[in-house]
Chain A
Amino acid sequence: MYQGLGWVRLGGMAGGVMLGWWLLFGGVHLARIARQTLREQRDLLAPEYLIVNKPVGLAGLLKADTAGFTEAELDELRRQPFVRSLAPFQAGRFAVRASTGDESLVPGLESDLFLEAVPDEYLDFEPAQWRWAPGMTEVPIVVPRDYLALYNFGYAASRNLPTISESLIRLVRFELRLEGQGQEAQMTGRIAGFSQRLPTILVPWSFLEWANGKFGPGASRPSRVILQTDRPSDPALAAFLAARSYQCNAEQLRAGRRAWMMRLLLTVVGGFGLVVLGLALWILGLSIELLVIRNTDRLRRLILLGYHPSWLAWHYVGLLGALLLAVNLSALLPLHWLARLAAENLERAGYAVEPIALWPTLALMALASFGLVAGPGAWIRRQVIRLGEGG
């Protein structure tokens, strides 16, 4: 029954399938490791908040409002599948002048300010006393952490002023003079914290609402929007922003694009493995077909003697099964080794790698093996039975 099945041929078949098997399931396993690592990476590094604005163009010179988002545009943004939620920035529409008194830690500073506010759930900090209610004269303020660095390493260094720590600056009080619509108010500002995410000078939403009502010229369109997304790496997000020519702080998008490239690369590698495996299995199929054809006479003779065709076919299926079992067992060690190598390299590259279980990959292998024995098995059985019927 196995005549014409040299050991060389059998070894070659097994080798081919083995190589394809290793490539495919090595690729699958690597993809799983990469996915897990990337997912954690995104959680760690890329905040899922994007600040989107319209580009500033010539139109802005003519009419200040064109740079703002209309309600329809906001709705469209809200409807995008990658947007979990969004909120427009509220901008102060009045003049603000801040100055430090002479008795202050940093004396003699005076500057025009521009205030903005976002709803509290978009803040990346939890400052103490981030509350403001009408009647309070002290306003908590959050500035970008970069501003402090700018002061410490730029301004203070060049003027021979003392550098200030974060905790020290929280003690600084300064005067805020609000002006607009012919009204004026004097308040006290206090640095309540620093923001990494929001590159603007923030005050509580309630304060800005009150101040805009009192000093501002009436409603205007929001010019910036903060949006929360589950998928900063979604190519559709970048495509949408580009199509509307919206701008955003692009660092997250770039990280997203890297992840996307990585996925593409892994898909290509996995696909390659699939092609190799496909070829190997095709050759395996041809070999078994050849085996059946070469032994057609013998099989017919055995059927003539009363051997059941199914029983004869089982021998070939058994051979196939044994071959795949051997291939699977042979893949265990390389897979284990590959997983460790990948983990070591990723760790060396500075990624945090969670150990990933091997068994889902193995389960997939077992499932694939079953399919590869059952499918050709049925085919072989049909071939042999046809020999019995053909006579």
Chain B
Amino acid sequence: MELAFDRVEPAPLRGQTAHSQVWGHAIVFPAGSRTVVRAPSGAGKTTLISILYGLRSDYAGRIRLDGRDLRELGITEWALLRRRRLGLVPQDLQLFDDLTAWENVELKNRLTRHRARQAVEGWFERLGVGGLQRRPAGTLSLGQRQRVALIRALCQPFEMLLLDEPFSHLDEDNTRRAIDLVEAECAAGGAGWVLTSLAGDRGLAGERVMDL
């Protein structure tokens, strides 16, 4: 999956994007590429992810996904994209607080039928949230919730994984384990990723680091 930006400028940031390496430029995220987008708060990290995931279209310029304008995609195409090609760990995680951690993951896995139960349980153990599967997501700490959201994102086939400050509440140890898991899954599927992070934040080692 290749994403090509052509002078994209989100409406809320109009006129404030002079120093950006992303907004207003022609850039390409090639298939399988690994990109870290760094920016301080308020520079549009979440806006970028939202635009890429089809959640907002209030921007100038054009984005092409494998040559097709994102704006041309209908609801059915977006639904299929989000099931089969485009993964997401949103910054606000979007978990259902009243459902258990396991049910939250199942909500995705039942839709895609992508992962075996054992594999998913293995990820819970690997990320250190193995004992929390039956706990309502609302009762978990932010760091625990981030890991649940990550597991959920992996329960689908994807060519590009969008990660919006995914490790902001994890300690170094847990961040390392999460990064290892993402690296392993992306490598297995030949997928790329776009990760946003606060300036100077530690994270995945991307091929390319851009300042937003």
Which residues from A are CB-within-8-Å of B53? 304
A389 lies within 8 A of chain B by Cβ: yes
Question: In whole angstroms, what is the CA distance A308 to B74 when docked?
Answer: 11
List 23 A-B residue pairs with CB atoms under 8 Å apart, sorted by A's residue number.
A301-B94, A301-B96, A304-B53, A304-B55, A304-B88, A304-B94, A305-B94, A305-B107, A305-B111, A305-B152, A306-B79, A306-B83, A306-B108, A306-B111, A306-B112, A306-B156, A307-B79, A308-B76, A308-B79, A388-B75, A388-B78, A389-B75, A391-B50
B54 lies within 8 A of chain A by Cβ: yes
- Can you add 8 more A-B contacts, CB < 8 Å, to A301-B94, A302-B107, A309-B75? A304-B88, A306-B81, A306-B82, A306-B83, A306-B111, A391-B55, A391-B56, A391-B57
Chain A interface category by residue count: 10 to 19
Does the CB pair B55–A307 fall under 8 Å? no
Number of interface residues of B (CB under 8 A): 24
Tell me which of A298, A310, A391 has the highest count of chain B C-beta atoms within 10 A of its own C-beta: A391
Which residues from B are CB-within-8-Å of A307? 79, 111
In the complex, how many angstroms separate the beta carbon of A317 from the nearest chain B beta carbon? 17
A202 lies within 8 A of chain B by Cβ: no
For window 190-210 of B, CB contacts with A under 8 Å fall at none
Does the CB pair A304–B82 fall under 8 Å? yes
A303 lies within 8 A of chain B by Cβ: yes
Does the CB pair B75–A308 fall under 8 Å? yes
Chain B residue at minimal CB-CB distance from A305 = B108
Which residues from B are CB-within-8-Å of A306? 79-83, 108, 111-112, 156
Chain B, 50-90, contact with A by CB distance < 8 Å: what is the 0/1 string? 10011111000000000000000001101111110000101
Chain B, 33-45, contact with A by CB distance < 8 Å: what is the 0/1 string? 0000000000000
Which residues from A are CB-within-8-Å of B75? 308-310, 385, 388-389
Chain A, 379-391, contact with B by CB distance < 8 Å: what is the 0/1 string? 0000001001101
Which residues from A are CB-within-8-Å of B81? 306
Chain B, 5-40, contact with A by CB distance < 8 Å: what is the 0/1 string? 000000000000000000000000000000000000
Which residues from B are CB-within-8-Å of A389? 75
Chain A residue at minimal CB-CB distance from B58 = A391
A305-B55 contact, Cβ under 8 Å, with A388-B75, A389-B75, A391-B50:
no
Does the CB pair B78–A305 fall under 8 Å? no
Chain B, 107-120, contact with A by CB distance < 8 Å: what is the 0/1 string? 11001100000000
Question: In whole angstroms, what is the CA distance A385 to B75 when docked?
Answer: 8
Does the CB pair A303–B90 fall under 8 Å? no
Chain A residue at minimal CB-CB distance from B84 = A306
B96 CB contact (under 8 Å) in A298, A303, A385: A298
Chain A residue at minimal CB-CB distance from B152 = A305
Chain B residue at minimal CB-CB distance from A389 = B75
In the complex, how many angstroms separate the beta carbon of A309 from the nearest chain B beta carbon? 6
Chain A, 259-302, contact with B by CB distance < 8 Å: what is the 0/1 string? 00000000000000000000000000000000000000010011
Question: In whole angstroms, what is the CA distance A309 to B83 when docked?
Answer: 13
Does the CB pair A391–B54 fall under 8 Å? yes
Does the CB pair B94–A303 fall under 8 Å? no
In the complex, how many angstroms separate the beta carbon of A378 from the nearest chain B beta carbon? 15
For window 147-188 of B, CB contacts with A under 8 Å fall at 152, 156
Which residues from B are CB-within-8-Å of A309? 75, 79
Chain A residue at minimal CB-CB distance from B53 = A304
Chain A residue at minimal CB-CB distance from B93 = A301
Chain B, 99-139, contact with A by CB distance < 8 Å: what is the 0/1 string? 00000000110011000000000000000000000000000
Question: In whole angstroms, what is the CA distance A84 to B80 when docked?
Answer: 69
Chain B residue at minimal CB-CB distance from A388 = B75
Which residues from B are CB-within-8-Å of A385? 75
Question: In whole angstroms, what is the CA distance A21 to B53 when docked?
Answer: 46
Question: In whole angstroms, what is the CA distance A374 to B79 when docked?
Answer: 24
Which residues from A are CB-within-8-Å of B54? 391
Chain B residue at minimal CB-CB distance from A386 = B75
Question: In whole angstroms, what is the CA distance A303 to B82 when docked?
Answer: 9
Chain A residue at minimal CB-CB distance from B88 = A304
Chain B residue at minimal CB-CB distance from A298 = B96
* The 6 nearest A-B residue pairs measured at CB: A306-B82, A391-B55, A306-B83, A308-B79, A391-B56, A301-B94
Does the CB pair B56–A303 fall under 8 Å? no
